[in-house]
Structure formats: C-alpha cells, structure tokens
Amino acid sequence: MNRLSKGCTRGQALVMFVLVAAVLIMVLGLAIDASGGWWKSQRQNDAIEIAKEAALSRCNEIKFDDTDSTRALDEVVYSSLAENLSDLEGSEVSVTSWEVSAAKAGSMNRLIGVEVTVTGTYKCVFAQTFGFGSVPVKNTIIFTINPYSSTEVWRQNTAGHGCKLVKSADKAVGQETYTTLDATSDISEALSDAIDKGLAELS
C-alpha cells in the first residue's frame, strides 16, 4: 500500500487552507457589502418616511396653492428628500401626485394620492473582486392626504388631475422634469388602489 509522504500531505493541507480561506474571504466580503446595502436602503427609506410626514404636515399650504396642488405636493416631497437624503444627487427619483375629482371626493373633501420612489446604487467594496460592482437600492411609499374642511373646499380644478416629478440618476438636483397628468391611466395601479381605499374611508 502506498503511503503519502509528509511533504505531499503538507501540500494538500496548504491547498485546502487556501481554498477555505478564499471562500471565507468571499463570504465575509459579501456579508459586509450586504450590510452596507441594507444600511443604505434604511437611510433611503427613512428619508422617504420624513418626506411623507412633510407632506402631511403642510396640507393647508398644498390645499390653498393657487396654481397646481399636485405640483406643489411633489415639490414639498422632493424638497424634503433633497434635505434628508445625502446621495440624492446620484439617485433616480419619481414623485407622482393625483387629486381626485370633486364628484368623487365630495364638496367638503380633497383627496390626493402620492407615490414616491427612490432608486440608488450601493457600490460594493469587497464583492467587486468577485464581479459584483454594485447593487440597486430601491424604496417606494404610497399614501394619501386629505385636506378636510367643514365647509365647501376651494379647489383650482374640479376634475381629477395630477403631476409627476422625475429626476434621472445622471441629472443634478434642480434638473427635474414635471409632467401634467390628465387621466387616472397615467398613474400606477398601486397608487390608484390607494386612492380608492382613501375614498372608501371618506364615505
């Protein structure tokens, strides 16, 4: 029976050590980058939640805007994001607001639905060695605001209308585009569902 020499055994152990060490480094690197991506997602989500609170706290300002309440709402949300999200410059942002018609909300109510989406990237540190340059980080929030009044409310438009603000990842803050929305087909199904739920709660 052939027996392995001590030198050959040491060689095999060295190979196994290198392989195990490489796997451990890869797992550690992926864990560190996954943690970094998670923290970035949390910061992004926190900024979106703060933007929601900013919109809710400024209902009257939005309610009495004499040009376009939905654009005013988009600007409130976006301004909050710019203030509270440090990496907004390199992120893609979408803020969509839709105000339902007076016929649906009633003469004493105004209901506006909002959808906010922020998409950024986390640049991997250790995982780059294994071909992972970056991972997408995306958060979305949908909510409604209801500037209520005990009397008939003022509105600049009795028909449903909306506005969509978009900032591309390659554009600087201040280079956003605004699109006027004229029909509910211009908004997402998720936002439409949230508005329907808000209307049901009004009745």
Sign for the CA dihedral angle at 199, 47, 185, 179 comes to positive
Residues 6+ apart with CB under 8 A from 86: 43
Parent domain of 49 = 6-202
Structure confidence at residue 158 (pLDDT): 81
Residue 25's pLDDT band, with cuts at 50, 70 and 90, is low
Is 72 a member of any domain? yes
Segment 123-149, tens digit of pLDDT: 877 666 666 677 889 999 999 998 766
Is 170 a member of any domain? yes
Is 1 a member of any domain? no
Structure confidence at residue 33 (pLDDT): 57
Which candidate, 51, 47, 32, places its Cα nearest to that of 122? 32
> What is the average per-residue pLDDT within 167-171?
93
Structure confidence at residue 6 (pLDDT): 54
Question: Any idea which of 8-12, 65-69, 166-170 has the lowest mean pLDDT?
Answer: 8-12
- The number of distinct structural domains making up the chain is 1
Higher-pLDDT residue of 153 and 136 is 136
Structure confidence at residue 203 (pLDDT): 72
pLDDT at 54 over 70: yes
Longest C-alpha distance within the chain, in Å? 100
pLDDT at 80 over 90: yes
Q: Could you tell me the two tokens for 123?
A: 């640049």
Structure confidence at residue 135 (pLDDT): 80
Residue 107's pLDDT band, with cuts at 50, 70 and 90, is confident
Is 80 a member of any domain? yes
Residues 6+ apart with CB under 8 A from 87: 40, 120
